[in-house]
Amino acid sequence: MSYDWKKIRKIDAHVHILPPERLALWKGEESPWAHADLEEFYQIMNEYNVNKAILVPTNDGRLYYENVDRTNQWLGQMQQRYPKRFYAFADILKEGAYFYEDTPYVLEDAIKEYGLKGLKIHPSNLNLDMDSLEMVPVLRKAAELHVPVMIHSNPCRVGFHDNCAPDKINKMIQIFPDVTFITSHMGGMKWQDALTGCTYVDISSVLPEFVDLYGIEQTNRILRMFGPDRLIFATDYPDVKFTNTEEIYETYCDILNQMDFSEEEAEKIAYGNIAKILNIKE
């Protein structure tokens, strides 16, 4: 192989960094969230030529701020503090029945006032089905604002198993052809459902899990089935199973170096696809 994933320039399209007050709650704990630290992450980025990262929230007031507007404002400040290094997607929260009414305005402020670049939806944390009618106003607003929508899709949690399932995301992709959707974690263990429907997928969180389950050759076949035009490099830093936080990029690059992508294809996955979605020129 003529190139090395550690050295090629990359955009990590799925990263969690916590606001300082929330990060402080995890410090000293054995949790990966103790590493959701901007300064710590910034060092790692530089080591592995991660040129840019997309900071994405989790629709979870216990992790980010309980005041969603404050989270979005803080994310906007991170973009400003590190121009061209960090881009951020807007958070939304569900408070009782207000989701339907409030979220379009929350998103509009996040984009217009704080300069955020997209919307992150985590249906499991919202306890809302992705194809619920309640999602329609905020998706309509995303279309109007011309911003991409990233959706957590790793059906896992008992009782809320199915609300982020790829087929539900695909329904919304059909209904909103004017929105660019990114299905996170390749649809998780429902990746086969993501294969035929969901458009762009990020490879965060599940890549090491796939290798563990299926081995390198089968993982290569799965990535090939999606193809280099749909895959987006991402890790889900710092919350990755099967690897230590400090070793996330080591693990990811090591796996990706064993795939059969040409250098040109790797460039699309590592940088080009997400740069096109976000209109990043440099």
* Interacting residues with Zn ion (CB under 5 A): 236
Quote the least distance from Cβ 2 to Zn ion, whole Å.
32
| C-beta closer to Zn ion: residue 53 or 261 | 53
Of 124 and 180, the one with the shorter C-beta distance to Zn ion is 124
Classify burial at 204, counting beta carbons within 10 Å of its beta carbon; exposed 0-12, middle 13-18, buried 19 or more.
buried
| Token pair belonging to 219 | 């993982």
Q: What's the min distance (Å) between Cβ of 14 and Zn ion?
A: 6
Residue 13 — φ and ψ, nearest 5°? -85, 5
Tokens 């290569």 locate to 220
Spatial separation of the C-alpha atoms in residues 66 and 33, rounded to whole Å: 17
In the bound state with Zn ion, the residue whose beta carbon lies nearer, of 71 and 220, is 71
Which position's Cβ is nearest Zn ion? 236
- Whether the CB-CB separation of 164 and 124 falls below 8 Å is answered with yes
Of 209 and 236, CB closest to Zn ion: 236
Tally of residues, the chain: 282
Distance CA 165, CA 156 (A): 10
CA distance 228 to 210: 17
Closest distance to Zn ion from the beta carbon of 140 (Å): 25
Q: Which C-beta is closer to Zn ion: that of 202 or that of 267?
A: 202
Least distance (Å) from Zn ion to the CB of residue 177? 26
